[in-house]
Amino acid sequence: MTDLTLYLLLGVFGIAFLYSCVGHAGASGYIAVMTLLGLAPAEIKPAALALNILVASIGTFQFFRAGYFSWPLFWPFALLSFPFAYLGGYVSLPALYFKALVGFVLFASAFRFLFEPPPEVEPTPPSKAVALSAGAGLGLLSGLTGTGGGIFLTPLAIFMGWGRTKTVAAVSASFILVNSISGLAGHLRAGKGFPDFVVPLAVAAALGGTAGSYLGSQRLSPLFIKRLLAAVLAIAGWKLMLTS
């Protein structure tokens, strides 16, 4: 095993563990690790989406089993996010300013969660029109950035008081799953390739995702999850600006 392979496996395991604690799947972190280790850009996006599908599946199962998943909160976001994530995965846009702006927004969200985490309040779900519109926009963002959209949905839902922390984490895991499937389908439909090094990375991601999602759904407090979310958002923002 080469040093590059070892670093890649350890990086994927660590990212999957950290992200899955808060209901995320880690695409932005995988992209950062693979970018730093010099992998080809054409291989990074589909590899990250494939790992996202695996870890999001595990997270969805763990949070659902713990009783935190909310179908009424999930489906309005997911309904339009699926086709828009497909569109985002299909097209390629100049991303210099787009990624820098999104990265800045994620850093700002991380700062807020780190120093002033929103308190747990009685949730007020959004109207169907708001949720459908937000889902469409977040789905497009997820496809364009090669992520599952959870890094955008989770802080938005918590700041707006649309659900309790662990409920939002459960919904985000499922949201990421459907968007990652759609984004990868759009990528493949556009005739782009799929890397052959994903299988060993999938093993590392599965181990990290299983451990992290178990802790997030069963053991960690909402406040601790918000602190972890701050770290996740900071990593995601850094990654987007790094590759912009």
> What pLDDT shows up at residue 79?
95
Q: 102 or 228: whose pLDDT is higher?
A: 228
d(CA 54, CA 49): 9
> What pLDDT shows up at residue 85?
86
> What pLDDT shows up at residue 96?
65
190 HSE (CA, 13 A, CB side):
19
Which pair of structure tokens corresponds to residue 124?
A: 């007020």
Q: What's the average model confidence in pLDDT over 25-44?
A: 82
Model pLDDT for residues 80-130, shown as the tens digit of each residue: 998 998 888 777 666 566 667 677 778 877 887 877 777 787 899 999 999
Q: Domain of 60?
A: 3-242
From the list 155, 139, 159, the residue with the least C-alpha distance to 147 is 139
Model pLDDT for residues 177-199, shown as the tens digit of each residue: 998 998 888 878 877 778 888 99
Neighbour-count burial for 184-206, b at 16+ CB within 10 Å, e otherwise = bbbbeeeebeebeebeebbebbb
d(CA 13, CA 134): 31
Number of structural domains (the chain) is 1
Model pLDDT for residues 136-173, shown as the tens digit of each residue: 999 888 877 777 888 889 999 998 999 999 999 999 99
> What pLDDT shows up at residue 192?
74
pLDDT exceeds 70 at position 244: no
